[in-house]
Structure 1
Amino acid sequence: MPKVRVHNMTISLDGFSAGENQRIDAPFGDGVGWGDELHAWFVEASRDAAAGKTGTDVDYYVRGDENIGATIMGRNMFGPQRGPWQDESWKGWWGENPPYHHDVFVLTHHPRPKLEMDGGTTFHFTDDTPERVLERAFEAADGKDVRIGGGAAVVQQYLRAGLIDELHLVIAPLLIGRGERLLDNVAEGVEGYRVAEMVSSSSVTHVMLVRR
């Protein structure tokens, strides 16, 4: 049976997945840059995977793409703009050929026409309920799993609803202090999960949560 999965969701020791004031020149907020202490493991693992190398971080990185047929993400993950779209020129952080290569559903209060990109990625901008979006994602995935890509607010919605089957957290050895904490306001949701794996590499600790 197809699953709902979260992979490679990196948080700090104090539980933050992003800092404050996320914007175009600081997508993860103040003090949290792409490739810095929080995400360095991911950048290195992606390079090693492309070079055919193996290792703990590479193994978990690769698992994040296996058998994924559709992705759900929040507006904040798609781009830095907030509120009504000023225009529709923004096409995401990933260039003309995003790394998804399947349907991606962007949760937003301000829908816009779908965006077809090179490589088979189509972004759908929807204000449907999380449950309805998940139904659409399963339809698009055609028997494969659906990935909840992030950010934290979207993962929290699906956790509170008890809809996530697997949640892969990556704990990086740093403190951020303020920003967006992943596991805030999900007390009832996480009660239904258990730790199935906990493995440390030289860089981070991987924790896999699954339904009880």
Structure 2
Amino acid sequence: MSKLRVESYTLSIDGFGAGPEQSLENPLGIGGTRLHAWAFPTRTFQSKLFGKADGETGIDEDFAARGFDNVGAWIMGRNMFGPVRGPWPDESWKGWWGDNPVYHMPVFVLTHHPRAPLVMEGGTTFHFVTDGIHAALERAREAAGGRDVRIGGGADTIRQYLQERLIDELHIAISPIVLGSGERLFEGINLVELGYSCTRHAATEWATHLVLTRQ
């Protein structure tokens, strides 16, 4: 059976996966972009985000690359898709990523407000799921065709799947910065009770990488 995975989710030293006050100017909240200093220079992120053929290799690249290996669909929360809250005022907001998003596969967006599927360039289609995390996972697994499903975030979405013991593996990168406030990933989560343990760790200049696996 395919796995449900979290990949390249980065936390500050004080436990925040995004800064406060998400907005058009600060998609990851104030200060949140600094979390990903380890990822942006890697060959994978340079290729996926900027269309460049080069980039850094090494441990950071290894973890960035594994996040796309054998992935056939994504799940994300409404807040990760964009800053629009409440009922969709129109269909003008199409995500942070331009006309050709980085996913190139089906993406299932959790929301309380219906919206028609959004077909983008490059093979990405955003499907808006209003009937909960289990329905989103079922649809994502069907779309993935036997490959794994990746949860992109944000923190609340990951917590919901963790609490249901649905996530098989999490790659967490700890960035050497402090944010002071924002979204805490493990708020109210007891990883031991849920059956998770650290099965791999590696440190670089810009991150400490941890893999948590559900036993």
Which interval holds the TM-score relative to the shorter structure? over 0.9
Q: Distance in 1 between matches of 2:153 and 2:192?
A: 17
Greater Cα offset, 82-91 or 188-197: 188-197
Residue 137 in 1 paired to residue 140 in 2?
A: yes
**Distance change (3 Å), C-alpha of 1:16 and 1:190:** farther
Q: Give the match's secondary structure for 2:39.
A: helix
Residue 30 of structure 1 deviates from its aligned partner by: 2.1
Q: What amino acid sits opposite 1:64 in the alignment? A: G
Tell me which residue corresponds to 1:113. Answer: 116
Q: Give the conservation status (yes or no) of the 8 Å contact 2:17–2:155.
A: yes
1:39 match:
36
Q: Is the 8 A contact 2:168 2:213 kept in 1?
A: yes
Checking the alignment, whether the CA contact within 8 Å between 1:162 and 1:189 is kept in structure 2 is no
Secondary structure of the structure 1 residue equivalent to 2:40: helix
Structure 1: gaps spanning 5 or more residues: none
- Aligned residue in 1 for 2:23: 23
Aligned-residue RMSD, C-alpha = 1.5
Shift of 1:108: 0.5
Seen in structure 2, the aligned counterparts of structure 1 residues 43 and 188 have a Cα distance that, compared at 3 Å, is closer
- Which residue is 2:181 aligned to? 178
- Contact 1:3-1:146 at 8 Å conserved across structures: yes
Residues 196 and 209, structure 1, Cα contact 8 Å, conserved in 2: yes
For 2:200 and 2:111, how far apart are their aligned partners in 1?
33
Q: Does 1:5 align with 2:5?
A: yes
CA gap of 1:112–1:58, structure 2 versus 1, over 3 A, is: same
Alpha-carbon separation, structure 2, partners of 1:138 and 1:129 = 15
Deviation string, structure 1 residues 143-199 (Cα, Å, up to 9, x no partner): 100001101010000000000001000000111111110110222676311101010
- The match for 2:73 is 70
Answer whether contact 2:41 2:55 (CA < 8 A) is retained. Answer: no
Residues in 1 aligned to 2:142 and 2:192: alpha-carbon distance in whole angstroms: 25
Residue type of the alignment partner of 1:102: M
TM-score, normalised by the number of residues in structure 2: 0.93
